[in-house]
């Protein structure tokens, strides 16, 4: 069977549009967006197969133009507050009666359904053949066990939104590891903790927490740091959110979300408007086995 990069782009917000507009006006808006998406696909060398409902099924000879088309879609200024979410996957396809089928189509559809508004989810087979510049636009969010696939699929995200609004997929991680002790080091004030596989620390204003902060904007049980399946996972449970400062100085907001932390950085419990250096929590991972990326 031939190989292709399948792209499925879907409109977000059309249901609300039909509630706010007449059926005729809403259909006209959706039709214009579908036409524009088909135009973007063709402008990047892709082939449109069909539009069904609010989505467009297309395919490309290579993942790079597919990714560039997807980026153009999520950055387009769509009317009526609508947006687009996209899934792409490279693999074998089967042509039949002016349609395409196969594992790549099924995987792209699954990724598209998981993507959030303004987000592209890219499977490993697509990611591995992208240019270094395109790979720099993507964040690996973990592995996803897809129906019908024996092995988990590495999933990457590119989004017009901040990390806290991206899809979070926690990896199943490596099994049967051996060797030296892998751990994450957490520091707050004069105290430090080392946690390894299966261990966790609770953060919050309650004295029952492992790391206690007294600022009024910190929730009683604000968040949890844990090493799960050899990766450092941070989960925010608060009402005010958390700011994670990366090694490059960039602040990323999280609110009632989980994400994976790698390398070194800082955690500030509470919103960005209330950053308090006295509440800085440092983290550093030591030889934690993150998912392998393409070599």
| Average pLDDT, integer, range 211-222 | 94
pLDDT greater at residue 119 or residue 247: 119
* Six token digits for residue 238: 């608060």
| Average pLDDT, integer, range 182-207 | 92
- pLDDT of 256 higher than 90: no
* pLDDT for the residue numbered 65: 98
pLDDT greater at residue 187 or residue 174: 187
* pLDDT for the residue numbered 167: 54
Summary mean pLDDT of the chain: 85
- pLDDT of 14 higher than 90: no
Confidence label for 142 from pLDDT (cuts 50, 70 and 90): low
Alpha-carbon gap, residue 45 to 13, rounded angstroms: 28
Residues 37, 115: contact at Cβ < 8 Å?
no
- pLDDT of 41 higher than 90: yes
The Cα angle at residue 162 between residues 36 and 112, in degrees rounded to 5: 45
Domains in the chain (CATH in brackets) are: 3-165 (3.30.70.1230), 183-286 (2.60.200.20)
Contact residues for 284 (Cβ-Cβ < 8 A; gap 6+): 184, 185, 263, 264
């Amino acid at each position: 069977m031939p190989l292709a990069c399948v792209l499925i782009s879907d409109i977000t917000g059309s249901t609300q549009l039909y509630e706010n507009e007449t059926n005729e006006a809403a259909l006209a808006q959706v039709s214009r967006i579908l036409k524009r998406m088909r135009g973007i696909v063709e402008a990047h060398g892709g082939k449109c197969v069909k539009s069904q409902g609010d989505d467009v099924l297309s395919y490309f000879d290579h993942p790079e133009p597919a990714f560039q088309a997807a980026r153009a879609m999520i950055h387009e200024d769509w009317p009526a507050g609508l947006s687009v979410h996209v899934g792409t996957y490279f693999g074998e396809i089967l042509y039949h009666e002016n349609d395409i089928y196969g594992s790549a189509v099924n995987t792209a559809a699954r990724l598209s359904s998981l993507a959030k508004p303004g987000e592209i989810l890219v499977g490993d087979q697509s990611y591995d053949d992208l240019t270094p510049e395109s790979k720099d636009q993507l964040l690996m969010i973990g592995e996803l066990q897809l129906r019908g696939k024996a092995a988990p699929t590495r999933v990457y995200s590119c989004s017009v939104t901040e990390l806290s609004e991206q899809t979070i997929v926690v990896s199943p991680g490596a099994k049967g590891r051996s060797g030296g002790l892998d751990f994450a080091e957490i520091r707050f004030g004069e105290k430090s903790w080392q946690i390894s596989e299966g261990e966790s620390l609770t953060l919050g204003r309650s004295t029952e927490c492992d790391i206690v902060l007294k600022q009024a904007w910190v929730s009683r049980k604000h968040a949890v740091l844990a090493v799960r399946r050899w990766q450092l996972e941070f989960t925010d449970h608060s009402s005010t959110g958390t700011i994670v400062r990366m090694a490059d100085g960039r602040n990323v907001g999280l609110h009632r979300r989980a994400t994976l932390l790698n390398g070194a950085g800082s955690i500030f419990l509470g919103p960005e408007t209330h950053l308090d250096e006295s509440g800085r929590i440092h983290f550093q991972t030591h030889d934690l086995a993150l998912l392998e990326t393409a070599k």
